[in-house]
Amino acid sequence: MHLHRFHGGLKLPDHKTESTVRPLLALDIPQVLFLPLSQHIGEPAEPLVGPGDTVLKGQRIGHANDYIAAHLHAPTSGRVREIAEYPVPHPSGLTAPCIVIEADGDDRWHDDRLRGWPDWHERDARSLRERIRDAGIVGLGGAAFPTAVKLNPRPGKAIHTLVVNGAECEPYISCDDTLMRERPKSVLAGVRIVAHLLGVERVLFAVEDNKPEALRALRDALSSHDRSRIQLVGIPSIYPTGGERQLIRVLTGREVPSAGLPADLGIVCHNPGTLKAVADAVLDGHPLISRIVTVTGPGVREPRNVEALIGTPFADLVAAAGGYAPEVNRLVMGGPMMGFAVGDDAVPVIKGTNCLLATRPQDTPEPGPLMPCIRCGECTRVCPANLLPQQLYWFAKSKNFDAIQDYGLFDCIECGCCARVCPSNIPLVQYYRFAKNEIWAREKERQKADLARERFEFRQLRQQREEQEKAERLARKKAAVAKQAPEGEKKAAIDAALERARAKKAAQTGENPADNGRPDT
């Protein structure tokens, strides 16, 4: 297959073997699980249980109210201790509402659990999508976008190609590699289901060529029927090949339009972990309650991959990897390029947790002092979106938000290549995030202001109209009266009417005095 290349990118030291020398380990059930209600892009789930409730494994405990949202399931059986704010994995070290479950150790499945569909071939796309949604599946590559949404292309957008993104281009991370090696059949089952659901003509299964064992395992697991439809493609390991847009470019030579989605090219892209979760949901009826996480880096003693229940505290994963090395000082969720450092290892594994990376001071030395940009252009050379990062930096710094958008700020995928090569130690990606947030905030502000102005203008218009109508009514009345009666006759008529009323009142009080003082009977 002819491969293409994208502009820029970096060859990074891959550090994958550290964690792949040890076999995959299924973690014990932790005593307490912390399940954040929001684990994905979109609206948080609404809790379906309360403190003191007993929950069973696989039971839905959080409901997705929004279209872009995902259900949450109990990873094991136990009792809900509370629903309260706890630290969650987030760059800002935020706390967020979590359902806290004390495990009872029985690991008893919920009775009403979904039933497996060995006959999935006969199911239509709609019910398969519903099943995937019921299972609470989100993209497991890290971005955690609800999968059912991605499998529901807009009408008129025919999908002809499914791309499986087994690139896993960040250094250190090997959870997809491990999954593809150890459970290639499950992954391929997920591929078949999604290919069937989308009705695609072909599947391109891309794996970076630094994972020969994964490629071999997948090749061995392919049936003869698969071989005609599913094409395994070894691709060069250049960061960030695992970016959806970059991968599509490598495989097809086409670029996803800036404002569009891969679906605009007839392509949908999924991660192997996600597809394995789809297979579990469809074939066995299992919701997404666990995932493989790479626990690695020089800051842990025995780097390895573990299968952990969602909600397991990071500390338990590190313990399974032999504990911390003596000098550990930083714990990162995700890879070294796009991951963020967490302040505490009590935070739990969420659906998007692909890797825990622990480092020591000598692995991530204090960068030198922040230096001025010398416009060396290294960032331009490595930017996979072909942007001019140093120009974006100047504009972000001067808060020139019009210019920065004109220079393609929103085409930035935040891969961090520019920051990686910047000799001046400028945290470039932070500047772009700042600019994006600022622009979004202003946009919201502007919308609010627009709405207020519209309301105000409408109110003014209404008042004006009422005023005008009143004036017209008065004028009409005046005109009518004036037409009916000249001035003198009118006064005589009024006097006559008053006279009549007075006479009537006098007559009433004289004739019926008892009416007013009638006693109750």
Q: Which residues from 152-181 bind other proteins, rule CB under 8 A?
A: 171
End-to-end Cα distance, the chain: 104
Contacts (CB under 8 A) with other proteins, residues 217-256: 245, 249, 255-256
Q: From the list 183, 419, 435, 436, which residue makes contact with other proteins (rule: CB under 8 A)? A: 419
Min. distance of Cβ 380 from other proteins in angstroms? Answer: 6
CB 295 within 8 A of CB 304: yes
Cα-to-chain-centroid distance, residue 435: 20
**Which listed residue (187, 191, 206, 337) binds other proteins by CB under 8 A?**
337
In whole angstroms, the minimum distance from the beta carbon of 244 to other proteins comes to 11
Tell me which of 118, 156, 326, 369 binds other proteins, using CB under 8 A: 369
Considering the rule CB under 8 A, would residue 513 count as an interface residue with other proteins?
Answer: no
Question: 147, 174, 312, 359: which one contacts other proteins (CB under 8 A)?
Answer: 359
376: contact with other proteins by CB under 8 A: yes
Q: Which stretch binds other proteins (CB under 8 A): 20-28, 70-78, 372-380, 496-504?
A: 372-380
Binders in 92-131 for other proteins, by CB under 8 A? 93
Shortest distance in whole angstroms from residue 262 CB to other proteins = 11
CB 72, CB 287: distance < 8 Å: no
- C-alpha separations of 342 from 34, 97, 436, 460, 494 in Å: 16, 17, 22, 52, 88
Name every residue whose Cβ is closer than 8 Å to that of residue 144 and which is 6 or more positions away in sequence. 39, 40, 41, 138, 350, 351, 352
Cα–Cα nearest to 177, from 223, 217, 147: 217
Is residue 331 within 8 Å of 341, Cβ to Cβ? yes
Stretch binding other proteins (CB under 8 A), from 53-61, 220-228, 380-388, 509-517: 380-388
- 212 or 343, CB closer to other proteins? 343
Kindly state whether residue 331 participates in binding other proteins, applying the rule CB under 8 A.
yes
Q: CB 511: neighbour CB atoms within 10 A?
A: 9
Q: Looking at 105, 377, 399, 464, which residue binds other proteins (CB under 8 A)?
A: 377
What is the C-alpha separation between 49 and 63, in angstroms, rounded? 10
Q: Which of 210, 390, 393, 395 binds other proteins (CB under 8 A)?
A: 390
- Residues 449 to 488 in contact with other proteins, rule: CB under 8 A: none
Among 201, 257, 452, 460, binds other proteins (CB under 8 A): 257
Work out how close the CB of 240 gets to other proteins at its nearest, in angstroms, rounded to a whole number: 12
Interface residue with other proteins among 189, 222, 250, 342 (CB under 8 A) is 342
Beta carbon nearer to other proteins, 116 or 322: 322
- d(C-alpha 241, C-alpha 163), whole Å: 13
Residue 1-40 contact track with other proteins, rule CB under 8 A, x = bound:
-----xx----xx---------------------------
Q: In the set 338, 350, 356, 392, which binds other proteins (CB under 8 A)?
A: 338
Is 54 or 405 the residue whose CB approaches other proteins more closely? 405
Q: Is residue 322 a contact point for other proteins (CB under 8 A)?
A: no
CB 313 within 8 A of CB 348: yes
For the stretch 241-279, what's the b/e string if a residue is b when 16 or more beta carbons lie within 10 angstroms of its beta carbon?
Answer: bbbbbbbbbbbbeeebeeeebbbebbbbbbbbbbbbbbb
CB-wise, 155 or 372, nearer to other proteins? 372
Stretch that binds other proteins, among 17-25, 201-209, 285-293, 321-329 (CB under 8 A): 321-329
Rounded to the nearest 5°, which phi and psi values hold at 181? -75, -45
Collect contacts of 42-49 with beta carbons under 8 A, ≥24 apart.
42/66, 42/68, 42/69, 42/70, 42/145, 42/146, 43/68, 43/69, 44/69, 44/96, 44/97, 45/69, 45/70, 45/71, 45/72, 47/83, 47/97, 47/99, 49/80, 49/99
* Residue 374 CB neighbours (<10 A): 11
If binding is defined by CB under 8 A, does position 316 make contact with other proteins?
A: no
- Three-state SS string over 206-251 comes to EEECCCHHHHHHHHHHCCHHHHHHEEEEEECCCECCCCHHHHHHHH
* Cβ 366 to other proteins shortest distance, Å: 9
Binding of residue 400 to other proteins (CB under 8 A): no
Q: Does 51 bind other proteins (CB under 8 A)?
A: no
Please state the φ and ψ torsions of residue 481, each to the nearest 5 degrees. -60, -45
Q: Is 407 one of the binding residues for other proteins (CB under 8 A)?
A: yes
CB-wise, 120 or 314, nearer to other proteins?
Answer: 314
Q: Which of 276, 297, 284 is nearest to 218 (CA)?
A: 276
Report the nearest approach of other proteins to the CB of residue 456 (Å). Answer: 37
Query: Which residue of 125, 374, 452, 503 would you call a contact of other proteins, by CB under 8 A?
Result: 374
